[in-house]
């Protein structure tokens, strides 16, 4: 209890320091040479929008930086207070069938974690709503949250059943067997994402604007992309922000436009956004992401197995764990993978930012319309209340894309 209180106090101090850094300590002034340029937010946002953008971005960033150690604290509390051991005993009393026992334990653990993080997620939703980014009623948000819970639970339960099968059968090399099984599973998830998982949250349909659709397909033909359709999704029911993306692999690959993007961007701006997404396809970024996920999981599982063994040896007895094969030790694994994911995040972000910059370059070379490219990014920033030049720590840990300052200034340099 004493250690839990100390950790909670530490979390509070950390949250206060992050708040100070984000709202008072971070240096985010626009470089002098870019003041008055198209990258200067004062040139395309009014004073009210600038204030909203600053406050909204900083609050959302603070929520992220708070949510990560909160997740770690939850796992430690579940272990330290013997809750994991109790859940293992409770679910073991219901059934002796290993797979079902594991599924029930994971359900309890997932629900407990979901419940404990609910206040912060709800706060994040209310912030988006109060700043006019989210337009989704609570009922719709709650529905998405529950879908999220069950999708994550299904994936988690299947993963844990496989993991503990290998841990119990091959105590030293369990990570290798788990990694080999994860390869087809990762490929399968990439393949079904656009056609099975995404439609659980939104409605997808072929682009209604036939003229624009023809322009996009003509652009795709110019890029040697065998595209036959473009999809839009009804995001206006949930948000005022703009976006487009490409996901899936093989025959299930989809290029998708949010209907908010279609409503608020001109055709020439939409074509630049589409060209950017086509750049990801042409440069095989999706397949590179797939390979990257497989390689990363190899090192993550290998290093994670070493840390797992060390954690069990050092604290397993205190937490009432019977050994690495004890299901009650799952929070230890989840804690380790969360720590590793957080540590690897900046490297993944750096690689992603390079890919996004390459896609920007491809798009401008394909469309030859830097003016439309600049105005599309300006509108994306203004409508989503995105901070043009975020704090350094935010970019380092959160940004998978170059900042709007970098993207717009690059397009300006291309224009010259």
- Binding-site residues for Zn(2+), in ranges, read 276, 280, 356
In a 13 Å sphere around the CA of 347, the CA atoms on its Cβ side amount to 8
Residue with token string 């359900």? 107
Catalytic residues: 277, 360
Q: Compute φ and ψ for 209, nearest 5 degrees.
A: -75, 100
Beta partners for 256?
231, 245
Query: Which class for 216: exposed (0-12), middle (13-18), buried (19 or more C-beta within 10 A)?
Result: buried
Long-range CB pairs of 336-341 (<8 Å, 24+ gap) are 336/304, 336/307, 336/308, 336/311, 337/300, 337/304, 338/68, 338/71, 338/72, 338/75, 339/72, 340/300, 340/303, 340/304, 340/307, 341/300
């Amino acid at each position: 209890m004493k250690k839990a209180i100390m950790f909670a106090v530490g979390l509070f101090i950390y949250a206060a320091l992050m708040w100070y850094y984000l709202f008072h300590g971070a240096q985010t002034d626009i470089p002098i040479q870019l003041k008055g340029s198209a990258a200067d937010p004062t040139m395309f946002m009014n004073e009210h929008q600038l204030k909203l953008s600053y406050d909204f971005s900083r609050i959302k960033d603070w929520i992220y930086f708070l949510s990560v150690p909160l997740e770690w604290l939850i796992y430690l509390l579940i272990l330290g207070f013997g809750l994991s051991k109790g859940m293992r005993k409770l679910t073991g009393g219901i059934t002796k069938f290993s797979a079902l026992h594991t599924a029930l334990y994971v359900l309890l653990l997932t629900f407990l974690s979901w419940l404990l993080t609910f206040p912060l997620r709800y706060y994040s939703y209310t912030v988006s709503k109060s700043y006019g980014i989210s337009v989704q009623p609570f009922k719709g948000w709650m529905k998405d949250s529950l879908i999220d819970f069950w999708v994550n639970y299904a994936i988690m339960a299947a993963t844990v059943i496989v993991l503990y099968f290998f841990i119990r059968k091959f105590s030293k090399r369990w990570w290798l067997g788990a990694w080999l099984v994860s390869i087809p599973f990762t490929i399968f998830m990439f393949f079904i994402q656009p056609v099975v998982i995404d439609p659980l949250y939104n409605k997808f349909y072929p682009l209604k604007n036939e003229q624009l659709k023809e322009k996009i397909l003509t652009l795709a033909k110019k890029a040697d992309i065998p595209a036959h359709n473009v999809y839009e999704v009804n995001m206006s029911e949930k948000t005022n922000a703009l976006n487009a993306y490409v996901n899936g692999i093989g025959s299930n690959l989809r290029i998708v436009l949010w209907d908010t993007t279609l409503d608020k961007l001109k055709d020439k701006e939409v074509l630049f956004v589409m060209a950017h997404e086509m750049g990801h396809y042409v440069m095989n970024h999706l397949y590179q992401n797939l390979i990257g996920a497989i390689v990363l999981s190899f090192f993550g599982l290998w290093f994670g197995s070493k840390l797992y063994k060390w954690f069990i040896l050092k604290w397993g007895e205190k937490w009432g764990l019977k050994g690495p094969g004890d299901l009650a030790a799952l929070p230890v694994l989840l804690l380790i993978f969360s720590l590793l994911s957080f540590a690897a995040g900046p490297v993944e972000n750096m690689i992603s930012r390079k890919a996004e910059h390459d896609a920007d370059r491809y798009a401008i070379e394909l469309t030859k319309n830097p003016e439309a490219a600049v105005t599309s990014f300006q509108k994306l920033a203004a409508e989503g209340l995105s901070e043009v030049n975020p704090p350094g720590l935010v970019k380092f840990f959160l940004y998978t894309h170059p900042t709007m300052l970098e993207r717009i200034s690059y397009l300006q340099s291309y224009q010259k």
